[in-house]
């Protein structure tokens, strides 16, 4: 990786810790000779030209926001945890401040993470997307009523889901909402998608892992008691109101998200530290 001279710094202005961390990180980067462009994830517009790398200071939501805005430009992102779980963070603040020179010299790992490309079709019209999702896209209803989804994969009927909704996630998202719905943990480098039903009204539906090479299509069926509100949510940040008959088309995004991390980074260590994985 070439030397990093220009950095775009994403931060969450609604978290006091993130503001404090971002200020300290910006000072350290500028002192080391880097140019820094600040982007607040709470502003209405995300406006920056380009950069050699991005630093996202906040929780996982800040990293997801950065991923959505830099993927098309091929900019790698280093997440620095200033939130709660911080599962998508590559480093903690104290560790980063001590390794800024190594970071700017381009000696951090580039770890590729697959993305979803999500769109919505109504009849023959494309109404939404395609937009990237790093963690997941979730189809669910804000109403306290179960509803039916019809899923097909690779042109073949897959299943009819009756319940509170469906989570379609990447391997990165396997430790997010999908995990809470009893989905499996999947290594990030695998090229797969996960389907995790939300509170299915049957004992026979279980999460399933599919190759990322095929198209997944999920259609909203009319409710038993007439139309009801159904929402598509991508990474919890982009939302679209669905109607009966709408079809959500999910496929592998042509680009990957590149995450930066120190040479010592270990996914298994993250599982143990963040999720207490393997502990008795």
Q: Which residues are catalytic?
A: 60
How is 194-210 classified by DSSP, letter by letter? EEEEES-SSSS---EEE
Q: Decide if 67 contacts 134 (C-beta within 8 A).
A: yes
Q: Alpha-carbon distance 38 to 16, whole Å?
A: 16
The number of angstroms, rounded, from the C-alpha of 13 to the middle of its chain's C-alpha atoms is 20
**Helix, coil or strand: residue 57:** strand
How many CB atoms are closer than 10 A to CB 120?
22
Q: Decide if 141 contacts 165 (C-beta within 8 A).
A: yes
In degrees and rounded to multiples of 5, residue 209 shows phi and psi of -110, 130
Residues near 37 by beta carbon (within 8 Å), at least 6 away in sequence: 6, 7, 8, 9, 48, 49, 51
Q: Decide if 151 contacts 217 (C-beta within 8 A).
A: yes
Paired tokens of 168: 């379609």
The number of C-alpha atoms within 13 Å of 68 and in the hemisphere containing its C-beta is 23
Instruction: Provide Rg for the chain, Cα atoms.
Output: 20
């Amino acid at each position: 990786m070439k030397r990093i001279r220009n950095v775009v710094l994403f931060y969450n202005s609604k978290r006091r810790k993130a503001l404090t961390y971002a200020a300290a990180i910006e000072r350290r980067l500028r002192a080391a000779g880097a140019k820094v462009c600040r982007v607040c994830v709470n502003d209405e517009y995300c406006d920056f030209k380009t950069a050699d790398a991005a630093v996202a200071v906040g929780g996982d939501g800040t990293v997801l926001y950065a991923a959505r805005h830099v993927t098309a430009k091929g900019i790698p992102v280093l997440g620095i945890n200033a939130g709660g779980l911080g599962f998508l963070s590559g480093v903690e603040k104290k560790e980063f401040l001590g390794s800024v020179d190594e970071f700017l010299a381009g000696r951090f790992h580039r770890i590729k993470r697959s993305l979803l490309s999500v769109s919505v079709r109504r009849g023959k019209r494309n109404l939404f997307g395609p937009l990237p999702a790093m963690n997941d896209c979730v189809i669910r209803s804000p109403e306290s009523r179960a509803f039916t989804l019809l899923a097909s994969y690779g042109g073949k009927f897959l299943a009819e889901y009756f319940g509170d909704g469906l989570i379609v996630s990447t391997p990165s998202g396997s430790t997010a909402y999908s995990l809470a719905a009893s989905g499996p943990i999947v290594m990030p480098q695998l090229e797969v998608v996960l389907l995790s039903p939300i509170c299915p009204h049957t004992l026979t539906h279980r999460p399933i892992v599919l190759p990322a090479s095929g198209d997944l299509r999920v259609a909203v069926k009319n409710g038993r008691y007439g139309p009801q509100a159904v929402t598509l949510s991508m990474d919890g940040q982009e939302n679209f109101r669905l109607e009966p008959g709408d079809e959500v088309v999910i496929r592998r995004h042509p680009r990957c998200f590149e995450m930066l991390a120190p040479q010592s980074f270990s996914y298994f260590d993250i599982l143990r530290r963040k999720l207490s994985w393997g502990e008795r």
